[in-house]
Amino acid sequence: MKENQVQPIDIYGNQFKRSRFVLVLLAATFLTIINQTLLVTALPKIMGDLGINAIDAQWLITSFMLISGIMIPTSAFLLNTITNRTLYFIAMGSFAIGTVICALSTTFTVLLFGRIIQAIGSGLMIPLMQTLMFMVYPAERRGEAMGLVGIVIAFSPAIAPTVSGWIVDYYDWHYLFYILLPLVGVNILLAIFYMKNIIQLTKPRLDVFSLLLSSVGLGSLLYGISVAGNVGWQNKTSWIACLIGIAVILFFSLRQLKLAQPFLELQVFKSRTFTLSTIIVAIIFMTMIGSEILLPIYTQSIKGFSALQSGLILLPGALVLGVISPVAGKLFDKYGIKKIAIIGMFILTIASFPFLFLTNDTATWWIVCLYSLRMLGMGLVMMPLATAGINALPNELISHGSAINNTVRQVFASLGSAIMVGVMSATVARYSNDDEGVSALLKGINNGFMSAFFLIVAAFLLCLFIKSAIHIKETE
């Protein structure tokens, strides 16, 4: 009887099992997010099979990030317009169709089209999951809920290169998608029974101009960052696209502040806790994604490891992150955010510093230990901070807070890889004439990690301004 009293209630007043609902949500999100980095170690095989160059191949990853980033802000409007159950099936249906197209593709054009269809589902699924997780858990247990979310959001892109490396070393790259299909099918089948409608619809009026501005602004910004990550920041196209994107996003923001029913509610930034936590989490996430690109370059180009071996070096850190995320969530529920954030950021800062001094002879066990320690620090701070930020918002703004939180994180993730790879490439170009290629590349990798270290220090300092209250709803 006690157990029944703590179970959530759908919009029709019926109780349902939280555990089954959460399982469907987390599994769906895991399957969609893992695709962000699933092709990283498979690109050389795909290039050889389809006869494309590196820039074309990179678009298989860039397009996914671009389209999912554009879709995320739209989720706040859709969550108040379409029942969350229907939106779930739209998201997973799109992802499933895209996966089928990718699995059957024999040309680059078809594969790219499949990735775009996949990304539509992924962009909708991430904020949908985060919003629903906040709705089915009471405020005092949201740290626990977001600890589970942390396993998915951080663990899935971290483990993807290992899975991908193993598959492409021994099988055809199409199996990356064949394996996903039955898992997606099972998840959709379970959702038919366990997915419930829990959000009361407000049916806001669609401001088409805001939707257009959001898509163009984010699309241009993400495109510019992606071009910079592929060919360097010296490229004029990247700067023009970024400037257009920023200008359009500013115009979009001003419009939202004037609308009676904004497409995306920017009033959430009135909350100091939400604003600070969103910025800090985004910085941490950008350094994580950037490091997951630089480390395989180091292990494969400097150490001579295979794609599978490179993925295995990242695996212990991914496991640490998966284990610590739910623990960190429970610590947040018990002690609040201030102490755990400072401890986590201190560990992350200390563990990041040695990556500035990698050499040809750096021991593999040392890299594994440092990377795992970095992931321990990230696990302690990322999801608790995100929880504190959204906890500071009233329930009617949670969908908007989740959309903004995920949008910022998506942009910063792209920016992180562009900055770190850009610094590496600029260093290689500077020293390649004076030193041997491997030596110049090593300097570039170390400098790339140096840029990440400075960002982490900045995030650490911002943590000092986070309020220490455990469960707050800011009204200022």
What is the residue extent of each domain of the chain?
17-195+261-463, 205-260
Nearest to 225 by CA among 362, 422, 16, 442: 422
CA atoms of 129 and 141, how far apart (whole Å): 16
CA atoms of 64 and 118, how far apart (whole Å): 7
Nearest to 218 by CA among 74, 389, 29, 340: 74
Query: How would DSSP label each residue in 38-81?
Result: TTGGGHHHHHHHHT--HHHHHHHHHHHHHHHHHHHHHHHHHHTT
Categorize the per-residue pLDDT at 154 as very low, low, confident or very high, splitting at 50, 70 and 90.
low
Categorize the per-residue pLDDT at 112 as very low, low, confident or very high, splitting at 50, 70 and 90.
very high
Looking at residue 205, what DSSP letter applies? P
Categorize the per-residue pLDDT at 279 as very low, low, confident or very high, splitting at 50, 70 and 90.
very high
Q: Which has more pLDDT, 319 or 111?
A: 111
Pick from 267-281, 300-314, 356-370: least confident: 300-314
Question: For all residues of the chain together, what is the average pLDDT?
Answer: 84
CA atoms of 396 and 394, how far apart (whole Å): 6
Residue listed under structure tokens 């501005």: 213
Categorize the per-residue pLDDT at 158 as very low, low, confident or very high, splitting at 50, 70 and 90.
low
Dig out the tokens for 365 from the structure. Answer: 């066990």
Residue 359 CB coordination number (10 Å): 9
CA atoms of 244 and 386, how far apart (whole Å): 29
What pLDDT, in 10s, does the model give residues 35-91? Answer: 877 887 777 788 888 888 767 777 887 788 788 888 888 887 888 889 999 999 999
Rg (CA), the chain: 21
Q: What are phi and psi of 137, to 5 degrees?
A: -115, 140
Q: Could you say which architecture CATH assigns to the domain 17-195+261-463?
A: Up-down Bundle (1.20)
